[in-house]
Amino acid sequence: MSNSSAWINANGKAIFWWVVLLLLIYFPIFMDLGDLAMRTWDEPRMALNAFEITKDHNWIVTHYNGQIELWNTKPPLMMWIQALLIKIMGASELTIRLPSAISAALTCIMLVIFSQKFLKSFWTGFAAALVLVTTRGYIGIHSARTGDYDPIVTMFCTLYALSFFSYTETHKNKYLAITFVGLALALFTKGIAGAFFLPALFIYALIKKQVLPLLKNYRFYLFLILSLVPILGYYFWREQLNPGYMHAVWENELGGRYLSTIEEHKEVFWYYINNLIDWRYSYWLVFIAPGIALGLTNKDQKMKNITLYLSIIILFFVLLLSSAKTKLFWYDIPLYPLFAIIIGNMFKILYGYMKDYKESNPKVYAALKYGGLIPMFIYPYSAIIRSSYKPVETNDFDSTYYRIEYYMQKAERGQKNLDNYTLCYDQYEAAELFYIDILSDMGQHVKWVKKTDFMPGENVIVCEPQTEDSLKIKYTYQLIDSDHTVKAYHILDKRKK
């Protein structure tokens, strides 16, 4: 075979398997991404922040419903990306979720590139990527398939963590530079949460006796300053334009959230570990301990190093999260790419053991390879596909809670006309305001109110039983539309006392 034929053959196989991998990544993350109505709390809040950037062109001080935003005090990188996508594609559930989904896909690709370059194994990365996209806690709400910070900050944390390991192995300054680029982007995505891996990186550097050489490298200080300037500059500038912002940051992100319980999110110390066991990592969790054991006892020193390194990050990150007073289930998402590498390494080691049978007993080799490893992915992958394909609400509470969002989504998609309607809604309103803004751009003007104070002739949408009861007591009316628990009434007149 000529050199050119050998090159084409080798690269053709590589391209084929990359295409297969990208398809396997695509379906769990991107399939029917915009189908679910906007999730309450964080997703529509950031969506409104981004939407208002496109309206008022204020890229520094974010706004919510026309007022300066002091509840969502995170740096604005994610909202900037969403705002740009809104300008390009228009506002929709898909537009808001694309940054998270793209970040999740890029994280998978990052695992493969890292494994191929530093662990000399494409298949380790391939397995790690499949583990990641078949992780229930990673593919779902508040992560890869909703418009939240966490998949984006996870991508940047993974980038700087893997880059720092690469630097400790090679001492090449380009990896140190990438480390600080990743850190800067993580900080600009979710503030101090983007730095949660740093204590573990310092401990690993101590163990490997690399702290002193690092401190003697002038580029360390240069890269550190360059990484901190954007985030510190933003905080300073925002405080000048919006006095009181830094106090809000302290209350929402720093001492207030870590040292005290915010919004009643109080849980036991073992909350994150319990969640990993019960549902968020229940399928793959059993492989973590064997993966660590096999990695630490492997003859390959690089394999030992990466296993030790990831184990230290996982340990310190879990302790940090568990010690915080405010706990939310999606805060553990940065762990999942690290778990995936450990499990990918385990499969590589097991595959190496199986290769011993390749020549001596090919039938045993085939049985182990195709009957052992491959079926491990079939169940979790099919389960994730079932949850991603035409997703629906999975419990009675959500089915009822999101009825009004689905009602407005129908108007967004041209199935209803809500022009000159009044929405009476007395709960957290971010998702409703997001749909109201979209409908306004479409020429359908919907007014939002909290109390049943209407004028004769108004068309009113209600979805809460107490609101509907109040309306019926105070007014004569005509029912003009009914969609499960959502009702639309035409107000005829006030009832006489």
Distance CA 297, CA 303 (A): 9
pLDDT for position 258: 65
Q: Using alpha carbons, select from 192, 194, 185, 318 the residue that is nearest to residue 251.
A: 192
Distances (CA, A) of 448 to 352, 423, 429, 452, 488: 63, 5, 9, 11, 14
Domain positions in the chain: 3-388, 397-494
Cα–Cα distance between 71 and 75 in angstroms, integer? 12
| This prediction's pTM | 0.94
CA distance 460 to 448: 10
Pair 452, 495: CB distance under 8 Å: no
Which residue's structure tokens are 């959502």? 486
- Cβ atoms of 24 and 16 closer than 8 Å: no
> Which stretches does DSSP call E strand in 87-137?
none
CA dist 311 to 104, 203, 398, Å?
A: 22, 11, 36
The H or E element containing residue 490 is strand 486-494
Per-residue confidence (pLDDT) for residue 13, from 0 to 100 = 84
Q: Half-sphere exposure (CA, 13 Å, Cβ side) for 321? A: 23
Whole-number pLDDT of residue 202: 97
Cβ-proximal residues to 453 (8 Å cutoff; 6+ apart), any chain: none
Per-residue pLDDT of the chain (497 residues; tens, 9 = 90+): 455 555 555 577 889 999 999 999 999 999 999 999 999 889 999 999 999 999 999 999 999 999 999 999 999 999 999 999 999 999 999 999 999 999 999 999 999 999 999 989 898 999 999 999 999 999 988 999 999 999 999 999 999 999 999 999 999 999 999 999 999 999 999 999 999 999 999 999 999 999 999 999 999 999 999 999 999 999 999 999 999 999 999 888 776 666 666 666 688 999 999 999 999 999 999 999 999 999 999 999 999 999 999 999 999 999 999 998 889 999 999 999 999 999 999 988 887 777 766 666 777 666 666 666 778 899 999 999 999 999 999 889 999 999 999 999 999 999 999 999 999 999 999 999 999 999 999 999 999 999 989 999 999 999 999 999 999 999 999 999 999 999 999 999 999 87
- Angle, alpha carbons 356-373-30 (nearest 5°): 140
Tokens 């990186």, located at residue: 201
Please give the DSSP secondary-structure letter assigned to residue 73.
-
